[in-house]
């Protein structure tokens, strides 16, 4: 049928080279799994050696292609060096997910989260990982994608970057808001090279961030109260959006950040 699209074709990432930072657990692992399950060659960069070992065993048992490298994304030379080395090794990079991030601790309606009590060392550490490392990931990936005139860069932002959020720390909302605009800025520069840059803004999803505190029903309750679907998200529920933005199906989507939040941003 003329003009018809087969989902297997437009979402095809078979043979693509994909890099995921912070991919050894949580949202990053879900991203790595869906890309690999659809035929991509995935490289996970993460600081957690135990998590990387577990990923390798899991992927190998499923017959999926996976490479891993231990590094701290706060070490910018090491981070960019790993991306450049991957481009040299594989000959190209088709998609990069700048996913690594950390919590900033308590929100403004707790004693330690009040603005007067935010510690400079905490602020700087969160900025280094949640913003500077994301910028450095985009920067390194862009060099190779501009040369090959194509590619997809996807940043993990947050609904806390789209609106005020009483339950998370100042440095977290500041960095996530910053990466939302960073996505826009990079998208307009890289568009002429066929590179699409987008963001994913998760709402409360059950991961290990903040030490996995959302697994405590008492902690989770106020988060759930802000979700129209009245529950926390599961990391697997990110897979469809990740595959969309990481594949050719998103060829006319760039410069946007898409919430996946159970309806939170609809309030």
Q: Where are the beta strands (DSSP E) in the chain?
A: 17-21, 41-46, 66-70, 95-98, 151-156, 195-202, 257-260
Strands 257-260 and 151-156: unpaired
Q: For 208-237, give one letter per residue: b (16+ CB within 10 A) or e.
A: bbbeeebeeeeebeebeebbeeeebbebeb
Structure tokens at 67: 């490479």
223 a catalytic residue: no
Taking Cα atoms as reference points, which of 82, 77, 73, 80 lies closest to residue 102? 73
* Catalytic pick among 5, 90, 170, 172: 172
Q: Max alpha carbon distance in the chain (Å)? A: 63
What one-character DSSP code corresponds to residue 128? I
Taking Cα atoms as reference points, which of 11, 2, 8, 6 lies closest to residue 250? 11
Q: Where are the beta strands (DSSP E) in 3-159?
A: 17-21, 41-46, 66-70, 95-98, 151-156
Distances (CA, A) of 56 to 44, 203, 207, 226: 10, 28, 19, 36
Task: Give the residue numbers marked as catalytic.
Answer: 172
């Amino acid at each position: 049928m003329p003009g018809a699209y087969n989902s297997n074709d437009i979402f095809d990432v078979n043979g693509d080279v994909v890099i995921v930072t912070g991919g050894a657990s949580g949202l990053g692992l879900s991203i790595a799994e869906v890309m690999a399950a659809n035929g991509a060659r995935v490289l996970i960069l993460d600081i957690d050696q135990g998590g990387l070992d577990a990923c390798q065993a899991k992927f190998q048992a499923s017959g999926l292609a996976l490479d891993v490298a231990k590094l701290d994304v706060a070490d910018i030379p090491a981070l960019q060096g790993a991306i450049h080395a991957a481009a040299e090794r594989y000959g190209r990079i088709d998609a990069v997910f700048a996913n690594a991030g950390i919590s900033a601790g308590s929100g403004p309606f707790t004693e330690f989260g009040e603005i007067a009590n935010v510690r400079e060392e905490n602020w700087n550490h969160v900025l280094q990982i949640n913003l500077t490392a994301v910028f450095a990931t985009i920067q390194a990936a862009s060099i190779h994608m501009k040369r090959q005139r194509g590619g997809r860069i996807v940043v993990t932002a947050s609904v806390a970057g789209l609106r005020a959020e009483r339950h998370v720390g100042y440095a977290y909302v500041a960095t996530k808001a910053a990466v939302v605009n960073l996505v826009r800025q990079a998208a307009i520069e890289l568009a002429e090279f066929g590179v699409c840059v987008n963001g994913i803004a998760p709402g409360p999803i059950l991961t290990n961030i903040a030490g996995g505190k959302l697994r405590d029903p008492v902690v989770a309750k106020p988060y759930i109260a802000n979700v129209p679907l009245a529950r926390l998200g599961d990391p697997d529920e990110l897979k469809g959006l990740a595959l969309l933005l990481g594949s050719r199906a998103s060829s006319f989507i760039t410069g946007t950040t898409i919430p996946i939040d159970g309806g939170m941003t609809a309030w």
